């Protein structure tokens, strides 16, 4: 009498949610200061001051009906024009406001894009480790998720496996850089190689294999040399899915965008299908006030220095203990190899020290764990001696 898939999705708690609930219970038992919850990817730094200042100014200055009224379905025109102008200047890809569709955040950007492109029999390729909701979104659109395992040394795409996975049913390759859960950033060389392959395959099949670039962590990179390459400069059949959740620290407000590369094959038709998918899924427009906040604050970031400090402290501390870690150039996650074959058993052992880690199984990558370091720095300082004890149990320390 109801939809079994939806019931399954709604009734099965995710591992992350389980850990979150466990942390609450455990905190009540032994005090929150003694529980080290590295499970949740929730920004821990405030939004830039400009966010609240913009809210206050808009509320004071704008008539209510204009401020809180419907915008057009694709987003307020002034908002789109301003963000597009910034985009062109920041990334060197000439897009206009008519190529942008404002969304209720990254999840909406992805479901709308996937539904807009989906045709019967389609497959969408992702690289493991991958954000667990990708499976939900891809299957929700009707398509099949095809997982290509990344190279364990680098967590970068394995091109040999990718070549074999792409076939005439492949509608798109979906990338996420900086990556959740590995923190890895795809550099220019990887982007070029990937796009060259997609060009060749598109040519071979006589129809585009799209590149969908999910970029909620785009601004969260910690070294000057590391910048996220703009996919539009490498490949015409590309769609960028963005969210302001992490860059501006406002994940609860649900605002982001889809940028359809104006050079894409049938770009205008794709944009129309995006509008249609937004309508069909029940997104009338992105939240009006926060559309305007996003336009005002586009390109700004919350204070990311805490994340960088945490990254350095954690990576250096864990490798000093003998753990094998992927160096995270971006996002606020560190991917660490479990010190035994059974990932769940490793996580349980970490729990003994009150260290709450997410098993890589959730990201299609068993044998590894994700550590979310978007926490106060003192949590990491206090956790490192516990990680050392965990390492000692496995004789990792040199």
Q: Which is nearer to its own copies, 90 or 207 (CB)?
A: 207
Task: Please give the backbone phi and psi of residue 137, each rounded to the nearest 5 degrees, phi first.
Answer: -70, -45
Collapse the DSSP code of 113 into the 3-class scheme (helix H, G, I; strand E, B; otherwise coil) and give the result: helix
Residue among 310, 351, 374 at smallest CA distance from 15: 351
232 sits in which H/E element: none
Q: Which is nearer to its own copies, 8 or 31 (CB)?
A: 8
Q: Smaller CB distance to its own copies: residue 42 or 301? A: 42
Task: Give the separation between CA 194 and CA 204, rounded to whole angstroms.
Answer: 15
The contacts of residue 274 (CB under 8 Å, 6+ apart) are 101, 112, 113, 116, 258, 260
The least CB distance from residue 90 to its own copies, in Å, is 23
Q: How far is the CB of 103 from its own copies (least distance, A)?
A: 8
Least separation in angstroms between residue 251's CB and its own copies is 5
- Min CB(202)–its own copies separation in Å: 10
Closer by beta carbon to its own copies, 117 or else 162: 117
The minimum distance between CB 395 and its own copies, in angstroms, equals 39
Distance between CA 303 and CA 269 in Å, rounded?
39
CB of 273 to its own copies, least distance (A): 4
Report the b/e string of 185-220 with b at 16+ CB within 10 A: bbbeebbebbbebbbebbeeeeebbbbbbbbbbbbb
Closer CB to its own copies, residue 281 or residue 386? 281
Q: State the minimum distance, in angstroms, from the CB of residue 184 to its own copies.
A: 24
| Cα 179 off chain centre by | 6
The C-alpha atoms of residue 33 and residue 261 are separated, in whole angstroms, by: 47
Q: Is 83 or 350 the residue whose CB approaches its own copies more closely?
A: 83
Query: 133 vs 361, which CB is nearer to its own copies?
Result: 133
- Per-residue burial over 352-365, b = 16 or more CB atoms within 10 Å of its CB, e = otherwise: ebbbbbbbbbbbbb
């Amino acid at each position: 009498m109801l939809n079994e898939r939806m019931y399954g999705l709604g009734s099965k708690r995710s591992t992350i949610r389980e850990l979150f609930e466990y942390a609450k219970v455990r905190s009540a038992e032994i005090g929150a200061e003694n529980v080290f919850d590295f499970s949740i990817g929730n920004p821990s730094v405030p939004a830039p001051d400009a966010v609240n200042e913009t809210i206050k100014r808009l509320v004071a200055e704008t008539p209510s009906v204009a401020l809180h009224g419907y915008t057009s379905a694709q987003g307020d025109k002034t908002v789109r024009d301003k963000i597009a102008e910034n985009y062109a200047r920041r990334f060197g890809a000439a897009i206009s406001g008519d190529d942008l569709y404002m969304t209720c955040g990254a999840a909406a950007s992805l479901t709308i894009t996937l539904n807009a492109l989906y045709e019967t029999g389609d497959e969408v390729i992702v690289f493991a480790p991958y954000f667990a909701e990708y499976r939900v979104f891809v299957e929700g659109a009707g398509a099949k998720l095809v997982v290509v395992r990344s190279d364990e040394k680098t967590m970068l795409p394995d091109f040999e496996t990718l070549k074999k996975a792409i076939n005439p049913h492949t509608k798109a390759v979906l990338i996420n850089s900086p990556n959740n859960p590995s923190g890895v950033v795809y550099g220019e060389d990887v982007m070029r190689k990937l796009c060259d392959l997609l060009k060749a395959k598109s040519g071979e099949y006589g129809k585009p294999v799209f590149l969908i670039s999910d970029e909620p962590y785009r601004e969260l990179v910690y070294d000057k040399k590391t910048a996220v390459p703009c996919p539009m400069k490498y490949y015409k059949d590309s769609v960028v899915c963005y969210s302001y959740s992490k860059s501006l620290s406002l994940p609860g407000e649900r605002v982001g965008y889809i940028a359809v590369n104006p050079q894409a094959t049938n770009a205008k038709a794709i944009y129309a299908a995006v509008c249609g998918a937004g309508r069909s899924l029940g997104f009338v427009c992105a939240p009006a006030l926060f559309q305007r906040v996003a336009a005002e604050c586009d390109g700004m970031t919350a204070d990311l220095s805490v994340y960088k400090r945490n990254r350095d402290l954690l990576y250096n501390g864990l490798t000093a203990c003998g753990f094998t870690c992927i160096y995270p150039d971006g996002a606020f996650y560190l991917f660490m190899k479990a010190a035994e074959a059974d990932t769940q058993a490793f996580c349980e052992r970490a729990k003994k020290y009150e260290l709450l880690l997410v098993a890589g199984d959730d990201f299609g990558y068993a044998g590894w764990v994700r550590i979310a370091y978007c926490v106060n720095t003192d949590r990491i300082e206090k956790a490192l001696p516990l990680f050392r004890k965990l390492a000692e149990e496995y004789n990792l320390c040199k």
